[in-house]
Amino acid sequence: MHDIRAIRENPAALDAALSRRGAEPASAKLLELDEKRRAVIHAAETAQADQNRASKDVGAAKSKGDEAEFERLRALVAEKKAEVAEMQAEAKALDAQLTDFLMTLPNTPLADVPDGADEDDNVELHRWGTPKTFAFDPKEHFEIKGVKPGMDFETAAKLSGSRFVVLTGGVARIHRALAQFMLDHHVENNGLSETWTPVLVREDMMLGAGQLPKFGEDSYQTTNGWWLVPTAEVTLTNIVNGLTVEADTLPRRYVAHTQCFRSEAGSAGKDTSGMLRQHQFEKVEMVSITLPDQSLSEHERMTKCAESVLEALELPYRTIVLCTGDMGFGAQKTHDIEVWLSGQNTYREISSVSVCGDFQARRMNARFKPEGGGKPEFLHTLNGSGLAVGRALIAVLENGQQEDGSVELPAALHPYLRGKTRLSPDGTLS
């Protein structure tokens, strides 16, 4: 959420930033609401002062035996009390309108984020690894002979509908091994703190992370008001919701493996084949909570954490910086990491690593105490996939496929598969 005081000081800066993201100017409406709210608050405070003075005078008039003045002042107190209540209610309503409007505005991009309208304007930063050359036409993951017995979309459709999958046998074990490997890698090599969090959260937690109110249709809500998390970013970031933490406890670096749930609203007809885009999926999520002057360097660090997983799995990838028109709602800057999928003969997103500045912290009222003393300040937050487990499974299967329908598995997974190194053409591990 944006700082209304900063908008008062420089409204043109907000409008310029929104323009870079293809959004309409908002400062005029914000300042109009803010001016009305402040005027009503001032009027309420003036009326409250009048009420307080009249209340004191009531007692004096009573003690003097001036009945007429006593009745006049008592009536004035009642009148001012009603005025104050009415104006306070109006101020509260205007404050809610202002907050609701601020909640709908996206974060402002950093100066070095490239301008652009959509994904075609993203800028590649670097590549790692060389895509494998096959002596045959590589298949997509769901077409590989050894994968077919363990990846059942028909049963999933019977159970739940489209965009679900049932994994069994060797494929299910590889999927589980990937999640465990990612957690261990981040804890042991990247210094993250393993965390286990709920997948059902209260609405104010979704608001704090920026998932609401704008993107409610993208998530699932239960009949009793809980929301299913679209990512563990929601829970990990909200650990500091409402807190004022000590500066020497920062940065805090969390990692969690959870089920994630997304309605995929607006993606009808997109990536319908295979398990690339699912309503229910697993992700290993990274979240960092930092001091303001640490967040940009932490963004680079987190990007390297995600990249290191792909390197350990021997999966070629490229890293890009998203342009202003393709960034997520809460991001100041985002690095997307795209893994090479041999079956599709292209790179596909497997991680987005974003720095959010104090955008989420303002929504959560999350602050820190400066070490040298002084007024508490808002924290900075970052999040990133480390990685999407299902998409990592796809990459491992497609890049490791053999002509006979088997799949050679990365050495990093062998210890998690009891020494098994290969998915056989019949779907078993060997």
Q: Which amino acid is at 24?
A: E
| Residues of each annotated binding site for ATP | 262-264, 349-352
Q: pTM for this one?
A: 0.92
277 carries an active-site annotation: yes
Please report which confidence band the pLDDT of residue 51 belongs to, taking 50, 70 and 90 as the band edges: confident
CA dist 315 to 26, 45, 213, 343, 350, Å? 44, 64, 37, 13, 11
Q: How confident is the prediction for the chain on average, in pLDDT? A: 94
Contact 85, 93 (CB under 8 A): no
53 carries an active-site annotation: no
Q: DSSP strand E in 342-421: where?
A: 346-355, 367-369, 377-378, 380-388, 407-408
| Residues of each annotated binding site | 231-233, 262-264, 285, 349-352, 385
Q: Which of 37, 163, 253, 262 is catalytic?
A: 262
pLDDT (tens digit per residue) in 278-323: 999 999 999 999 999 999 999 999 999 999 999 999 999 999 999 9
- To the nearest 10°, report the CA torsion of 162, 164, 166, 167: 130
Extents of the domains making up the chain: 4-103, 119-423
193 carries an active-site annotation: no
Res. 182: pLDDT tops 90: yes
Straight-line distance from the first to the last Cα atom of the chain, in angstroms, rounded to the nearest whole number: 52
Residue 71: how many CB atoms within 10 A of its CB?
12
Please report which confidence band the pLDDT of residue 156 belongs to, taking 50, 70 and 90 as the band edges: very high
Domain spanning 4-103: CATH 3.40.1640.10 = no
CA dist 344 to 85, 124, 151, Å? 64, 19, 18
Instruction: State the sign of the Cα–Cα–Cα–Cα dihedral 14, 16, 17, 23.
Output: positive
What local confidence, expressed as pLDDT, does residue 123 receive?
Answer: 98
Res. 244: pLDDT tops 90: yes
Q: Which of 27, 288, 352, 354 is catalytic?
A: 352
Any bridge partners for residue 381, and if so which?
289
What local confidence, expressed as pLDDT, does residue 67 receive?
Answer: 66
What local confidence, expressed as pLDDT, does residue 98 receive?
Answer: 96
What local confidence, expressed as pLDDT, does residue 398 receive?
Answer: 98
| Residues of each annotated binding site for L-serine | 231-233, 285, 385
Say which CATH architecture domain 119-423 belongs to. Answer: 2-Layer Sandwich (3.30)
Backbone angles phi, psi at 167, to 5 degrees: -105, 135
| Integer Cα distance of 65 and 60 in angstroms | 9
Res. 80: pLDDT tops 80: no
Contact 73, 61 (CB under 8 A): yes
- To the nearest 10°, report the CA torsion of 369, 296, 254, 305: -160
Instruction: State the sign of the Cα–Cα–Cα–Cα dihedral 72, 73, 78, 79.
Output: positive
349 carries an active-site annotation: yes
Please report which confidence band the pLDDT of residue 268 belongs to, taking 50, 70 and 90 as the band edges: low
398 carries an active-site annotation: no
| Integer Cα distance of 108 and 17 in angstroms | 5
What local confidence, expressed as pLDDT, does residue 266 receive?
Answer: 61
Backbone angles phi, psi at 393, to 5 degrees: -60, -45
pLDDT (tens digit per residue) in 189-233: 999 999 999 999 999 999 999 999 888 899 999 999 999 999 999
Q: Which of 342, 391, 398, 406 is catalytic?
A: 391
Res. 164: pLDDT tops 70: yes
Q: Which of 202, 349, 362, 377 is catalytic?
A: 349
Residues near 192 by beta carbon (within 8 Å), at least 6 away in sequence: 186, 253, 254, 255, 286, 305
CA atoms within 13 A on the CB side of 211: 27
| Integer Cα distance of 325 and 134 in angstroms | 36
Residue 430: how many CB atoms within 10 A of its CB?
10
What local confidence, expressed as pLDDT, does residue 40 receive?
Answer: 94
| Integer Cα distance of 76 and 84 in angstroms | 12
